[in-house]
Each structure stands twice: as C-alpha cells, then as structure tokens.
Chains A and B, each alone.
Chain A
Amino acid sequence: MYQADVIVTLKPVVNDPQGSTIKSALHALGFAAVEDVRAGKLLRLTLDTDDRAEAAAMTESMARQLLANSVIEDFKISLVALEAPARSRRA
C-alpha cells in the first residue's frame, strides 16, 4: 500500500485572498516575521498497490484530471510506502 499526499496550492501568479487574510491575522497576533502565507489543501490518498511507479503515475493522473485545476493551481505529490501489503485484486 502507498500513501500519496497531494498538496494543491494556487499558482504564485494567482492572488490568494485567504492567505492574505491569514497573514493579517498572524501579524495581529504579533508574528511580525511572517512575510507571506499561501493557503492550500492536502489530499491524502491510500492506494492499493505496492508498486511505487504505479502509485506515482496514478496519483499524477488523478491530480491532472481532478484534484488540481491547472488554470489556477499547482500540485506536489509525495509517496510513502505503508506497512500493510496491498490486497491483491489480481491474485
């Protein structure tokens, strides 16, 4: 099994009012060192495969088709192998 974390953020050129609002709140709390905040989302997928390349390819495909909107968003994928072996549907 693999755990795929997909982090979706707005592209740097796209204005992020949510991030700006969070930054203002952090400044109000006294965290003056905060230069910038970008808000995004984390999608954590559990994948029934032990093949890292397959996990990477399918996650990339899911991110392109649905999880991120390429007009406004970028995504990053990180994969971690999980302890339990995949239930093999092919057996």
Chain B
Amino acid sequence: MKTGIVVFPGTWSDRDCAYALHDVLGEPVRYVGHRERDLGDLDLVILPGGFSYGDYLRCGAIARFTPVMEAVARFAQDGGLVLGICNGFQVLQEARLLPGALLRNASCEFRCEWVSLRVEQTWSAFTQGMRPGQVLSLPISHGEGNFYADPATLELLQANDRIVFRYATPQGQVAPQANPNGSTAGIAGICNARGNVLGLMPHPERACEALLGGSDGLVLFRAAVMALQAAAV
C-alpha cells in the first residue's frame, strides 16, 4: 500500500503517521508537500493532525485551498483512499469532502487523553475486518473536535451507515460521560457515501505499539490494506 502523507505548514503528526505505516507495518510511505499537484501512484493519502496554517480563521480553512487539496479531491473522486486525522478531518470538512463541522470542545478545554471508540459499521475501507460493536482504545488530542451537523445531515449519515466511530465507555456504551468534546450523538468519525474517505478525531498513528500504550490504531491501517487487496482482486 503506497501511502502519501500530506504536510501543510503547521502539520505535526506527519512523522508519527510515517512511523506507524513504515516502521511498524513496513509499508512504503512518502511525504506530499502542500504545493504538489500530482499524487502519482498512491493508494492511500493521509491528512495528518496538527495546526495547518496555525488554525487561522478556522481549523482547516486555509489548507483547504492548497494545490494538494485539489489533487486529493480528484483522488477521492477516483476512489482513492483518504484518511483525515484530527486536523485532517477538519480539512476534509472544509473541503466539503465530508459533511458537518468540528466546533470548539463543549468544555472549552483542550483534551489530550485515551478514549474508547465503538465501531459502528464495517463496510468502509478503514473498518474492513472489524466487528460491529468492537471497542478500540485510541488517544485524542484536540481543542476543536465537537462534531456538528444539521439534523438533515445527521439523518443522512445515520440512514446510510456512515457514522464509523462513536465515543463510548470501555464496555462499548455510548454515554455522555464517555464523550470528551460534546460531539453530537457521540460521533468521533464519519465516512463519505462510497466509504473511501474517512475523517476521525482520535489518532490511530499514536496507538501503533504497546510501548505507546496500545496498538489498536493499526487495525485502521490494516483495514485499508485489506480494502485495497479486495479491490485488486
């Protein structure tokens, strides 16, 4: 799986993503600069976490207009796999590749902690091989991860099974006390209609080996590998 990791000015999780994919999983990776217009033969594009353009104006608002995002939009349109993590999720929403928006956390606090996520669907490219209801333990690190969508959009996401992850208790119960940021319906991650574009606030790349506190993040990357193999058959 050839992975491109997009680097905007202010991106900070690019090397963590490269570590998880290359050093841990042995997959080839390359960095993609924000001015690049050609994604070449990539299979997966990751928009990593960080503070692209200093979060000026709105998180992701400036990054959305970079040349590389035009290429990412075409890549997604052609069925390429796109994973937006944290700030990358915000960029995907600003680019209208995913619906809704991420507001300031309800607590107004920056939250940096491990959370439990319930897997809500297993048909998307990033949840292949998972079990519905499976609980993953991943870290979050954000001040603006409070998922918002208008009621019609929420209904559409629900009806089309596009809510991929919800914040839950370690036992898998979606509950207010397990929701770290006030997200509507406990939503932590959603995908597009085709299932090839996923955005989520938690950081799978920071949960890629026991030394870091867990390796549940690897299941997302492995799912992407499976999805590509399935598509190639």
Known contacts A66-B65, A69-B61, A69-B101: A17-B106 contact under CB 8 Å: yes
Is B50's beta carbon under 8 Å from chain A? no
User: In chain B, residues 68-106, which have Cβ atoms closer than 8 Å to a Cβ of chain A?
Assistant: 93-94, 99-101, 103-106
Query: Does B148 contact A67, Cβ atoms closer than 8 Å?
Result: no
B25 at the interface (CB under 8 A from A): no
Nearest A residue (CB) for B99: A71
Nearest CB in chain A to that of B181: its residue = A17
- A14 contacts B by Cβ under 8 Å: yes
Q: Are B148 and A17 in contact, with the CB atoms below 8 A?
A: no
Q: How far, in whole Å, are A13 and B146 apart by their CA atoms in the complex? A: 14
Interface residue from B57, B61, B103 paired with A14 (Cβ < 8 Å) = B103
* Also in contact, A71 and B101, with CB within 8 A (given A17-B106, A17-B108, A18-B108): yes
B104–A69 touching, CB < 8 Å: no
Q: Which of A21, A66, A67 has the most CB of B within 10 A?
A: A66
Contact B94 A69 (CB under 8 A): yes
- Which residues of B from 121 to 170 have beta carbons under 8 Å from A? 146, 148-150
The answer on a CB contact under 8 Å between B103 and A71 is no
Shortest beta-carbon distance from B179 to chain A in Å: 13
A58 interfacial by beta-carbon distance below 8 Å: no
Q: How far is the CA of A71 from the CA of B149 in the complex (A)?
A: 8
Contacts of A18 in B (CB 8 A): 104, 108
Chain B positions within 8 Å of A67 at CB level: 57
Is B171 close to A, CB under 8 A? Answer: no
Interchain CB contact under 8 A, B106 and A69 = no
**A15: B residues at CB distance < 8 A:** 103, 106, 146, 148, 182
Distance of A67 from chain B, by nearest CB (Å): 7
| Pairwise interchain contact B57-A66, C-beta atoms closer than 8 A | yes
Q: Do B93 and A71 touch (CB < 8 A)?
A: yes
Q: Does B15 contact A (CB under 8 A)?
A: no
Which chain A positions have C-beta within 8 A of B104?
Answer: 17-18
* Chain A interface residues toward B at CB < 8 A: 10, 13-15, 17-18, 21, 66-67, 69, 71-72
Q: What are 28 of the A-B contact pairs (CB < 8 Å)?
A: A10-B103, A13-B150, A14-B103, A14-B148, A15-B103, A15-B106, A15-B146, A15-B148, A15-B182, A17-B103, A17-B105, A17-B107, A17-B146, A17-B182, A18-B104, A18-B108, A21-B108, A66-B61, A66-B65, A67-B57, A69-B58, A69-B61, A69-B101, A71-B93, A71-B99, A71-B148, A71-B149, A71-B150
